[in-house]
Structure 1
């Protein structure tokens, strides 16, 4: 098998399985683990897959721009949003990050819920401006034109002044080993600040984002409390998250 064909098969396997170990790929391709390791590095350098310790992992399937994401998997996000509503109680301070899944939760918020909604997302602030009982705190800063959120030190400092009862994180990628990661450095810093200043962290993730990884690190998986997703999770993966103290619903 020539190198190009081997790397093509390696890439297809990782994208199909989401994650693969060196030994697994070595057997599949009938080459040494050192050869597999070199192939993974070359493919990772090209941005095709993500190299992790002991193997490789797929990139998130989510496009980076908000406009490209807002009409994707709408039904799945509505399933997640309905689950999220069970975590919102009257009188709470609730942080919504800039993810489209967080937007779905804000859009589904019943009119009789009385909360303080905190966000750095222009679309979420717009959704909630007509809500009869939700007070909205919108954090300023530099505009990220891909995500329609404010970012930077001003936004981070504002987040540090709030202790949210519950926070909703729209997830780009989540993996047991790699943790929560994202494609945008500024977004990673914002999410990290939210995690550090919240009592309960609810990760909103469609099933296809599990076992994927990106370049910018947010936090380990055990920093969050619950993952809400749209489909049943593989039993082995479910158990692995449970052992790290993370519930999946």
Structure 2
């Protein structure tokens, strides 16, 4: 039997079916407009508002004026994320590490995915690494060709990165060729966002002071929002994410002329 479009069902759609279609559209487009949903689902504006309200109350999206955005999320701590999606992170790390050239000055951000990138750098690489991540600095301690600089600051216990005014000022003194950035959330409208304000401040400086920024992240980070803004999505140069990511989700980022690599 051939699959039917939502328009073919019209008002015959059950509430659960309508809400599933709303969430699917939100996942692929990054936002939904109530007026568009009325036409798509062939229901009244009151019905759409009720569906959005109930999805919001269930924690599945965030209602805004005129429609809805993905729910703002808080990332679990570094320790809680260490064992998650490990094989996927290793595959992404291999791709991202291949972008590094000898002689470059690198920013390597904190996070479990960028930690894997550090571990996948060539053992004979000669470069300078500036990092806010003690785990990354430790992982690179035995690389004979690397000059590793761990900037100062206060240790953020959940993110396991150094943060604060001292950290931001140290990063401002560096001009990097490449920033390898871990991403809490990436949304076509909301841009790069982070779970913690001080972590967002350090990420913001790294993006500003790098000739190119490479965002390395698993597919679940796409289309999501975290509370603190880092930079617009167009400030990125390259996205490295999973091959299973639907093309419909990646398409808006391709329109920004970002290079997209998958693993």
Q: Residue 37 of structure 1 contacts residue 55 of structure 1 at CA under 8 Å; is this kept in 2?
A: no
Return the alpha-carbon distance in structure 2 between the equivalents of residues 11 and 214 of structure 1.
Answer: 23
Structure 1's 52 and 212: CA in aligned 2 closer, same or farther, altered over 3 A? farther
RMSD: 3.0
* Residue 84 of structure 2: aligned partner: 72
Per the alignment, residue 101 of structure 2 pairs with 89
Q: Deviations over 1:76-135 (max 9, x none)?
A: 111111111221111111111112111010011121111111101111111111222111
Distance of 2:202 and 2:20 partners within structure 1? 31
Contact 2:172 2:209 in 1 (8 A): yes
* Deviations 1:16-41, CA, capped at 9 Å, x for gaps: 85344123554559441696289559
Match for 1:149 among 158, 161, 165?
Answer: 161
Tell me the secondary structure at the aligned position of residue 125 of structure 2: coil
Q: Which 5+ residue runs of structure 2 have no aligned equivalent?
A: 1-14
Name which one, 1 or 2, has greater alpha-carbon Rg: 2
Tell me the residue number matched to 2:12: none
From 184, 188, 199, give the equivalent of 2:196: 184
Contact 2:19–2:51, Cα closer than 8 Å, also in 1 = no
Partner residue of 1:206? 218
Q: Which 5+ residue runs of structure 1 have no aligned equivalent?
A: 1-5
Q: 2:19–2:55: 8 Å Cα contact kept in structure 1?
A: no
For 2:56, the equivalent position in structure 1 comes to 43
SS of the counterpart of 2:224?
coil
Gap change, CA 1:185 and 1:37, over 3 Å in 2: farther
Q: CA–CA distance in 2 between the matches of 1:216 and 1:47?
A: 19
Q: Which of the numbers 141, 146, 150 marks the counterpart of 1:129?
A: 141
- 1:158 and 2:170 aligned: yes
* 1:6-17 → structure 2 map (5 Å cutoff): 10=19, 13-14=22-23, 17=26
Q: Give the equivalent residue in structure 1 for 2:254.
A: 242
Matches for 1:12-31 after TM superposition, within 5 Å = 13-14=22-23, 17-18=26-27, 19-21=30-32, 22-23=34-35, 25-26=37-38, 28=41, 30-31=43-44
Distance 2:110 2:130 in 1: 11
Cα distance in 1 for partners of 2:56, 2:191 equals 21
TM-score, structure 2 length as denominator?
A: 0.81
For these two proteins, the number of residue pairs brought into alignment is 244
Q: C-alpha separation between the residues in 1 aligned to 2:181 and 2:50?
A: 33
